[in-house]
């Protein structure tokens, strides 16, 4: 035997003894035959299992709605049967849901008079207590039975519209430790629809102010204790231990209407409503999908049972089960809060309306009550709440299109998502959430113009966004031209919603890639390496990239490996870079073979930049140049965005400048002219990259003696706001000034400019490389040794500094090994042992490197 969850029904005909006396034995016999036919037919129609009918009726049902269906049929059948006999027949009925154990009696015992099956369990006496409490004609249900039946009421068809659902308060039952909330369900004219009277075995739990006073001192004590004691007396004990920032799982909408639009639309609307809360955290769709995959149930509908199982597995405190049903002309939206530990409905809130346009306001009303039931202060709810119809859209079709688009996006079907989001804004042009998601798609595709256009549409309808989405929009919009504000907006978002992993990731991402602040990025990522984060693997990979930019290369490799073990796929370029920085080249090649295209041209090309950096780190300059040329050719064939081709051109120039050929100067001038034209035409999103390329071109011009071109390019960007807002650009501008000073024989001026950058921690890796050359030119070998040592020992920064995104990594990689050659040269007199080691390390890194044109131009072997 094992417990089974069943609905238990116990009922009894009221006044059966008086009926026998009135009808006589003969008529009673005929009546009982018709009664048994009624009983058995109703049981069959409702899929019930008769256990006993010797002393009343005891029956089991798999679902409470079936028990209620039987009770309603039985009551009406008795009513009609009594009318035919000229008597009034009423039954008292109790229904409860709980675990029961059943077993079959031996056939021999059945022949001797035993019941075919036996039933035991607390649910049986509880149902009996409810039946005993009921008045004739009354159907009483426990809270759990009523909640489950109410959710499935649409299955009763037209009868559902005639029913009344009443709550009669809490009753205490003899032998049952805790009070129970008693509900009545019935049809007017048949059911009494009034609170049952208290008796010896069941009595209503009255508030203290309605009880007879015991002694005068008790009343005086109550007055003295005041409001605090009254609040303690009146409040209901919490039925679920829900704390601030606990997690909930939202089950799939149980749609009991004929309108399929509700299936996906209400799921999205409910999540939007819950995500307005700073008290409740909601499992994302990605998190749910990942959990279902781990449970080996991918794609299964998240019904009540599966949602509770998932919540238990993933550590969620509660399950919210939404239901929409149509009863007559009324559409009812209900939200059940379920304890996943017991599977019991703790409470249920619902609201009614007419027509499709009433659904979102009804969901709003129910949601406000659920949030307060979960412990959120009503003042906080009222202060944050934006009506769902306003925060999303009043057009259910548009809401469903958004929901399906978000699902497609999470499944990697970007093209399908784009079509669905476009359909959403076509149906509702003011649907800000849909415009925002279209902007995200365009941003990922590198389409700056479209990104800005979609963001402008979202901003034009900013009043249609929740506070949470609005902060995200402001952060997203700022990423195009004002990274400091973007990081500030995302930081504010995470301070208000500490478990918003999307905001944490974006704060870290832009702090790292745009502001070159890896320490801030690491702080932002704190708390993201948890199972509740659906994008945990991405956060872990970003954290590893940040570690590489901080020069913590061994830690970076360890974190990259963890990310890979947890399922990271696609771009692994930074992992390859970390291994290359440690000169573990064979491992780097192996990891590179694990990389898989993601289907976005610019990302797939950028992820292969290691095809140039890896051979360069081995001293194979020709192979590095060939790799850049190959990637450029492939990009042109694949119609990569112009920014990708321009970046590859910069990479090619950054290799040529170390040993410039005869056409280098002319080629650089022609390229710089095209970049200047690009700057005139570029929008906010790509402008900072064009500025960096022009500054890199200015440095190359100054380094090869074309001071005029260097100054011209520097002047071109001097008034550009993004030349100072973005640290990489600001640092590169000072590198150009230092290189000009070197070209004009003023190494001390170059040292002054770049030393200040180093002291104020605003230097990029390349700043130190140019500073090293200035120190050597000024004859300050002691400081040159210190700087060359730093460059050689911090190769992780050379590879991981985000200037690689803008095409300057190859220059950093070259300088990290050239620093060894310089170290050997400048420490020859100061520290011969160090000089000898540096020379050997250089020869190991670049065998035969002393003869490389790039090394000879720098100053040759020590």
Q: Are 808 and 622 in contact (CB under 8 A)?
A: no
Q: Is the pLDDT of residue 230 over 80?
A: no
**Picking from 166-175, 205-214, 346-355, 562-571, which range would have the lowest pLDDT averaged per residue?**
205-214
Q: Are 691 and 716 in contact (CB under 8 A)?
A: no
Beta bridge partners of 353: 331
Q: Is the pLDDT of residue 682 over 60?
A: yes
Tens-place pLDDT, residues 494-507: 988 888 899 999 99
Out of 1.10.1060, 1.25.40, 3.40.50, 1.10.357, the CATH code matching 630-858 is 1.25.40
What is the average per-residue pLDDT within 335-357?
A: 82
pTM equals: 0.68
CATH fold for domain 246-385? Rossmann fold (3.40.50)
Q: Which residues contact 611 (CB under 8 A, 6 or more apart)?
A: 592, 627, 630, 631
Predicted confidence at residue 802, as pLDDT, reads 93
329: buried, middle or exposed (CB in 10 Å: 19+, 13-18, 0-12)? exposed
Helices 642-656 and 610-617: crossing angle in degrees, nearest 10, is 10
Predicted confidence at residue 777, as pLDDT, reads 95
Beta bridge partners of 350: 334
Q: Is the pLDDT of residue 385 over 70?
A: no
Q: Is the pLDDT of residue 574 over 80?
A: yes
Structure-block tokens of residue 324: 């929409």
Share of the chain above pLDDT 90, in %: 45
* More confident of the two residues 537 and 407: 537
Domain boundaries, the chain: 4-204, 206-237, 246-385, 630-858
Farthest CA pair distance, the chain: 128
Beta bridge partners of 320: 250, 337
Give residue for tokens 């005068």: 216
Structure-block tokens of residue 452: 């800005």
Distance of CA 738 to the CA centre of its chain: 47
Q: Are 96 and 11 in contact (CB under 8 A)?
A: no
Predicted confidence at residue 534, as pLDDT, reads 82
Predicted confidence at residue 234, as pLDDT, reads 41
Tens-place pLDDT, residues 614-648: 999 999 999 999 999 999 999 999 988 888 999 99
Q: Which residues contact 785 (CB under 8 A, 6 or more apart)?
A: 823, 826, 827, 830, 831, 834
What is the average per-residue pLDDT within 287-301?
A: 82
Domain 4-204 = CATH 3.30.70.1230: yes
786: buried, middle or exposed (CB in 10 Å: 19+, 13-18, 0-12)? middle
Tens-place pLDDT, residues 46-80: 999 999 886 689 999 999 999 999 999 999 888 88
If you compute the radius of gyration of the chain from its CA atoms, what whole number of angstroms results? Answer: 38
DSSP structural state of residue 100:
E
Tell me the CA end-to-end span of the chain in Å, nearest whole number.
Answer: 88
What is the average per-residue pLDDT within 308-313?
A: 85
Q: What does the mean pLDDT of the chain come to?
A: 86
Predicted confidence at residue 618, as pLDDT, reads 97
What is the average per-residue pLDDT within 784-812?
A: 95
What is the Cα–Cα distance from 180 to 647, expressed in whole angstroms?
Answer: 71
How many CA atoms does the CB half-sphere of 827 hold within 13 Å? 23
Tens-place pLDDT, residues 468-493: 888 888 888 888 888 899 999 999 98
């Amino acid at each position: 035997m094992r417990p089974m969850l069943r609905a238990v029904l116990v009922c009894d005909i009221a006044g059966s003894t008086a009926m026998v006396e009135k009808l006589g034995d003969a008529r009673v016999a005929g009546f009982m035959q018709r009664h048994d036919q009624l009983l058995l037919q109703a049981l069959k129609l409702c899929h019930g299992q008769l256990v006993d009918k010797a002393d009343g009726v005891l029956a089991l049902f798999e679902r409470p709605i079936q028990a209620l269906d039987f009770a309603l049929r039985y009551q009406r059948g008795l009513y009609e049967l009594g009318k035919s006999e000229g008597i009034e027949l009423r039954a008292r009925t109790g229904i409860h849901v709980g675990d029961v154990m059943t077993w079959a009696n031996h056939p021999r015992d059945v022949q001797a008079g035993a019941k075919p099956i036996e039933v035991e369990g607390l649910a049986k006496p509880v149902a009996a207590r409810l039946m005993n409490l009921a008045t004739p004609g009354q159907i009483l249900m426990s809270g759990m039975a009523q909640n489950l039946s109410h959710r499935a009421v649409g299955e009763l068809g037209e009868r559902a519209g005639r029913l009344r659902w009443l709550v009669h308060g809490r009753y205490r039952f003899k032998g049952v430790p805790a009070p129970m909330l008693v509900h009545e369900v019935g049809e007017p004219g048949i059911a009494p629809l009034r609170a049952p009277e208290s008796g010896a075995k069941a009595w209503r739990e009255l508030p203290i102010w309605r009880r007879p006073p015991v002694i005068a001192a008790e009343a005086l004590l109550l007055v003295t204790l005041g409001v605090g004691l009254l609040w303690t007396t009146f409040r209901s004990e919490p039925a679920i231990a829900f704390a601030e920032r606990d997690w909930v799982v939202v089950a799939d909408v149980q749609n009991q209407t004929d309108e399929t639009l509700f299936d996906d639309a209400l799921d999205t609307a409910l999540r939007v409503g819950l995500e307005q809360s700073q008290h409740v955290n909601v499992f994302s769709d990605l998190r749910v999908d990942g959990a279902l995959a781990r449970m080996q149930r991918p794609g299964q509908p998240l019904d009540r049972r599966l949602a509770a199982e998932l919540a238990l597995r993933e550590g969620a405190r509660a399950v919210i089960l939404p239901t929409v049903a149509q009863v007559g002309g009324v559409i009812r939206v209900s939200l059940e809060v379920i304890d996943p530990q017991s599977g019991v409905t703790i409470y249920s809130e619902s609201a009614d309306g007419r027509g499709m346009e009433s659904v979102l306001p009804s969901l709003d009303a129910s949601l406000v009550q659920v949030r307060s039931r979960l412990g959120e202060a009503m003042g906080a709810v009222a202060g944050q709440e934006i009506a769902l119809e306003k925060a999303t859209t009043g057009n259910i079709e548009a809401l469903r299109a958004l929901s399906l688009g978000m699902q497609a996006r999470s499944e990697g079907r970007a093209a399908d998502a784009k079509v669905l989001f476009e359909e959403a804004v076509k149906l509702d042009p003011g649907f800000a959430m849909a415009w925002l998601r279209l902007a995200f798609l365009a941003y990922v595709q590198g389409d700056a113009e479209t990104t800005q256009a979609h963001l402008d549409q979202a901003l034009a309808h900013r009043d249609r966004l929740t506070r949470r989405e609005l902060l995200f929009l402001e952060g997203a919009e700022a990423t195009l031209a004002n990274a400091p504000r973007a990081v500030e907006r995302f930081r504010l978002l995470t301070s208000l919603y500490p478990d918003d992993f999307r905001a944490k990731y974006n704060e870290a991402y832009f702090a790292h890639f745009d502001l070159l602040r890896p320490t801030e990025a690491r702080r932002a990522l704190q708390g993201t390496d948890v199972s509740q984060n659906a994008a945990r693997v991405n956060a872990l990979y970003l954290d590893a990239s940040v570690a590489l930019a901080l020069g913590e290369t061994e830690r970076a490799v360890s974190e990259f490996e963890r990310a890979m073990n947890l399922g990271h796929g696609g771009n692994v370029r930074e992992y390859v870079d970390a291994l290359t920085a440690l000169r573990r080249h064979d491992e780097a090649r192996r990891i590179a073979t694990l990389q898989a295209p993601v289907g976005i041209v610019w990302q797939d090309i950028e992820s292969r930049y290691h095809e140039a950096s890896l051979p360069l780190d081995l001293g194979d300059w020709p192979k590095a140049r060939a790799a850049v040329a190959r990637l450029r050719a492939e990009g042109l064939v694949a119609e990569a965005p112009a920014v990708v081709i321009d970046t590859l051109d910069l990479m090619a120039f950054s290799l040529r400048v170390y040993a410039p050929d005869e056409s280098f100067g002319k080629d650089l001038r022609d390229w710089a002219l095209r970049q200047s034209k690009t700057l005139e035409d570029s929008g906010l999103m790509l402008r900072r990259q064009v500025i960096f390329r022009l500054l890199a071109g200015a440095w190359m011009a100054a380094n090869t003696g074309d001071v005029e071109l260097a100054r011209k390019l520097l002047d071109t960007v001097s008034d550009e706001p993004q030349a100072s807002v973005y640290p990489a650009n600001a640092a590169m501008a000072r590198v150009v000034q230092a290189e000009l000073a070197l070209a004009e024989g003023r190494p001390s001026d170059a040292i002054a400019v770049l030393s200040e950058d180093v002291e104020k921690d605003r230097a990029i890796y390349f700043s130190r490389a140019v500073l090293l050359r200035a120190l050597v030119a000024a004859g300050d070998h002691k400081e040159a040794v210190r700087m060359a040592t730093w460059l050689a020992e911090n190769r992780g920064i050379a590879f991981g500094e985000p200037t690689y995104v803008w095409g300057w990594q190859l220059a950093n990689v070259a300088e990290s090994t050239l620093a060894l050659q310089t170290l050997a040269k400048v420490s020859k007199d100061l520290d011969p042992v160090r000089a000898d080691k540096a020379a050997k390390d250089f020869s190991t890194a670049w065998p035969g490197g002393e003869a490389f044109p790039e090394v000879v131009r720098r100053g040759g072997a020590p």
